[in-house]
Amino acid sequence: MEITDVNENEEKKSLNFIEQLVENEIKEGKHDGRILTRFPPEPNGYLHIGHAKAIYVSFGIAEKFGGKTNLRFDDTNPEKEDEEYVEAIKEDIKWLGYEWEGEPKFTSDYFDQLYTWAQELIKQGKAYIDSQSSEEMAKQKGTPTTPGTASPYRERSTEENLELFERMKNGDFEEGTHVLRAKIDMAHDNMHMRDPLMYRIINAPHHRTGDTWHIYPMYDWAHGESDYIEGITNSLCSLEFEIHRPLYEWFVENIKDGEYQPLQTEFSRLNLNYTVMSKRKLLQLVEEEIVSGWDDPRMPTISGLRRRGYTPKSIRSFIDTVGVSKRNNIIDVALLESSVKNELNKTVPRVMAVLDPIKVIIDNYPEGETEWLDAENSQEDESLGFRKVPFSREIYIEREDFREEANKKFFRLKLGGKEVRLKSAYFIKGESVEKDADGNITVIHATYDPLTKSGSGTEESKRKVKGTLHWVSAEHAIDAEVRLYDRLFMDENPDGHKETNFKEFLNPDSLKVITAKVEPYLKDAKHDDKFQFQRKGYFVVDKDSTADKLVFNRTVGLRDSWKK
């Protein structure tokens, strides 16, 4: 039974508030039942798990109600944006399993239309060129409790406005000398309505339009009009744009030609504990080389999660379970982890890898002999079959799986204690240890019971044992680099402290690189192959892995209910 399948789940689940709204619109025949949403990233950074929610919401609504979704790059600020990000964003969306309608769109495709509309607003007396400094304008804006005052340029003549506007476009002016503002209401309760900026001068080349333009539209002016141009029905965005909605509507109402108008609806963004989600802070981690890049497996980016071993399905099911509402939230990262464990548990083969090896010599096992034992690949999926695992006199086990002395709660290997099972092999007993000059154990001596071979069906092999250990044959084991990742921050809400910089909370142990001994079966493992290292967790082959040197990333550890 596929209980994790997102779509199957959705049929049983109640609709979220946006889905209810859209359902009602369709019932009422709005837009003739047509649904077109859009996902509008700014190409100034990589997508993160928060964007995955935005993608899920916009693409998901369209999927659910037979609509489509446009991908539109909101590229109105050439100083921050870059083509590199455009490609990375497209790749991430595709990887998540979504398809946008037609070709990707760019707000810059609409610069001409936007410019024409702006000229019309000027002609209608609804926009004007202001030639003050930003400081002066900020002063005139007033405060929430006191109305603003009019700019001395507010009543400039249409002719002068038009001429200045054209010269701004052509690059006749320095940055900061003039702006185009909408003429709305300097006393409005909503500060965004106090004659907001529509255009500013930026004399920098744009990644798509080159040096054609010297003015660039502001978000509020560009966004709603782009939605309008594309025929978007539902413009879904996060809560901080709620207060922009009256402006979004004012702009569209003043350029529209007919009944059609897109509707903006806001929902709360996704926040995860023990990480940061702002692009600015993520960029800082990248630039200061605190992480290895946008796709560092500790990053909450889509590319980071991918490299960490997350699957598109697990991310989608995670977003599905966290839901969509208007409440501020901080979601426990354990929920994200449980979604990937839940999927990997069912799909991924088990192998044996010893992360912190200590040698065990089985004194009564014949020297020089190797047996190739059958090991089950998955207890959850029989179709994954069996593989051969070599067994010999000298093996490695996990250092923490042995104690010279321990209480009854410790049911792993100890001296003079009960026998333990070597997974898919034999039962052994701890006999003695060798130590170096400092008293550290260097070798454990054990004996095995030849009648207890796994799968042999003998009475002896059916004896109840409390402990089962994973192991690898010393002679056959291969070395692999294993990167053990932990949360990047030690604080649940690293950017939630006004007096403390988020970097103060960085976890010094967020990455540990070790050399593990893994079974030879893994020799041919390829980039992105995923495994469960028995009793240790889920691991994925990193892109740094080569034929000569295997590299694994730990996606997530297994639940460990053993209280030490």
Tell me which residues in 513-552 interact with RNA (CB under 7 A): 532, 534-535
Total number of residues shown for the chain: 564
The binder of RNA chosen from 112, 189, 363, 475 (CB under 7 A): 189
Site for RNA in 320-339 (CB under 7 A): 321-332, 334-335, 338
Query: Least separation, in Å, of the C-beta of 544 and RNA?
Result: 26
Distance of alpha carbon 483 from alpha carbon 320, whole angstroms: 29
Whichever of 5 and 544 has its CB closer to RNA, that residue is 5
Site for RNA in 433-492 (CB under 7 A): 454-455, 461, 467-468, 470
Does 42 qualify as catalytic in the annotation? yes
- φ, ψ of residue 227 to 5 degrees: the values are -60, -45
Q: Which tokens in the block code for residue 153?
A: 């340029």
Site for RNA in 12-31 (CB under 7 A): 14-17, 20
Distance of alpha carbon 12 from alpha carbon 28, whole angstroms: 24
**Phi-psi map region of 31: left, alpha, beta (phi>0 left; psi -120 to 50 alpha):** left
Distance of alpha carbon 523 from alpha carbon 460, whole angstroms: 33
Distance of alpha carbon 106 from alpha carbon 117, whole angstroms: 18
Catalytic option among 10, 23, 42, 404: 42
Q: Are 203 and 269 in contact (CB under 8 A)?
A: no
Under the criterion CB under 7 A, does residue 254 sit at the interface with RNA?
Answer: no
Under the criterion CB under 7 A, does residue 494 sit at the interface with RNA?
Answer: no
Site for RNA in 283-322 (CB under 7 A): 321-322
The binder of RNA chosen from 29, 102, 144, 368 (CB under 7 A): 144
Distance of alpha carbon 446 from alpha carbon 441, whole angstroms: 14
Under the criterion CB under 7 A, does residue 99 sit at the interface with RNA?
Answer: no
Under the criterion CB under 7 A, does residue 118 sit at the interface with RNA?
Answer: no
Q: Are 411 and 467 in contact (CB under 8 A)?
A: yes
Whichever of 213 and 216 has its CB closer to RNA, that residue is 216
Under the criterion CB under 7 A, does residue 395 sit at the interface with RNA?
Answer: no
Under the criterion CB under 7 A, does residue 432 sit at the interface with RNA?
Answer: no
Query: Least separation, in Å, of the C-beta of 6 and RNA?
Result: 13
Under the criterion CB under 7 A, does residue 8 sit at the interface with RNA?
Answer: no
Under the criterion CB under 7 A, does residue 176 sit at the interface with RNA?
Answer: yes
Whichever of 33 and 142 has its CB closer to RNA, that residue is 142
Query: Least separation, in Å, of the C-beta of 394 and RNA?
Result: 20
The binder of RNA chosen from 11, 103, 143, 459 (CB under 7 A): 143
Under the criterion CB under 7 A, does residue 341 sit at the interface with RNA?
Answer: yes
Q: How far is CA 282 from CA 271, 277, 335, in A?
A: 14, 7, 22
Cβ-proximal residues to 185 (8 Å cutoff; 6+ apart), any chain: 193, 194, 195
Tell me which amino acid residue 200 is: R
**Residue 434 three-state SS:** strand
Residue count, binding to RNA (CB under 7 A): 88
Catalytic option among 30, 68, 154, 269: 269
Whichever of 117 and 296 has its CB closer to RNA, that residue is 117
Q: How far is CA 278 from CA 9, 118, 284, in A?
A: 30, 32, 10
Q: How far is CA 522 from CA 351, 478, 529, in A?
A: 8, 8, 10
The β-bridge relationship of strands 468-469 and 420-422 is parallel
Under the criterion CB under 7 A, does residue 511 sit at the interface with RNA?
Answer: no
Options 31-39, 203-211, 214-222, 299-307: segment touching RNA (CB under 7 A): 214-222
Query: Least separation, in Å, of the C-beta of 163 and RNA?
Result: 18
Site for RNA in 263-282 (CB under 7 A): 268
Query: Least separation, in Å, of the C-beta of 482 and RNA?
Result: 16
Site for RNA in 401-430 (CB under 7 A): 409-412, 421, 423-424
Q: Which tokens in the block code for residue 433?
A: 């240890």
Q: Are 448 and 426 in contact (CB under 8 A)?
A: yes
Query: Least separation, in Å, of the C-beta of 304 and RNA?
Result: 20
Does 279 qualify as catalytic in the annotation? yes
The binder of RNA chosen from 169, 244, 483, 517 (CB under 7 A): 244
The binder of RNA chosen from 243, 432, 527, 543 (CB under 7 A): 243
**Residue 115 three-state SS:** helix
Q: Are 216 and 175 in contact (CB under 8 A)?
A: no
Q: Are 448 and 460 in contact (CB under 8 A)?
A: no
Query: Least separation, in Å, of the C-beta of 368 and RNA?
Result: 24
Whichever of 177 and 292 has its CB closer to RNA, that residue is 177
Distance of alpha carbon 400 from alpha carbon 410, whole angstroms: 11
Residue 282's Cβ-side half-sphere holds a number of Cα atoms within 13 Å equal to: 24
Options 30-38, 73-81, 483-491, 512-520: segment touching RNA (CB under 7 A): 73-81
Tokens 């070395």 locate to: 479
Options 170-178, 301-309, 389-397, 508-516: segment touching RNA (CB under 7 A): 170-178
Q: Are 67 and 286 in contact (CB under 8 A)?
A: no
The site map against RNA for 74-93 (x = CB under 7 A) is x-xx--x-------------
Q: Are 122 and 162 in contact (CB under 8 A)?
A: yes
For the chain, what is the radius of gyration of the CA atoms?
A: 31
Residue 252: CB atoms within 10 Å: 20
Whichever of 76 and 473 has its CB closer to RNA, that residue is 76
Options 56-64, 87-95, 200-208, 227-235: segment touching RNA (CB under 7 A): 200-208
Under the criterion CB under 7 A, does residue 382 sit at the interface with RNA?
Answer: no
Q: Which tokens in the block code for residue 306?
A: 């991918």
Query: Least separation, in Å, of the C-beta of 546 and RNA?
Result: 28
The binder of RNA chosen from 133, 370, 500, 515 (CB under 7 A): 133
Query: Least separation, in Å, of the C-beta of 143 and RNA?
Result: 4
Under the criterion CB under 7 A, does residue 225 sit at the interface with RNA?
Answer: no
Q: Are 354 and 516 in contact (CB under 8 A)?
A: yes
Site for RNA in 42-71 (CB under 7 A): 42
SS3 content of the chain, % helix, strand, coil (to 5): 35, 25, 45
Does 269 qualify as catalytic in the annotation? yes
Q: Which tokens in the block code for residue 172?
A: 């006749």
Which residues are designated catalytic?
Answer: 42, 269, 279
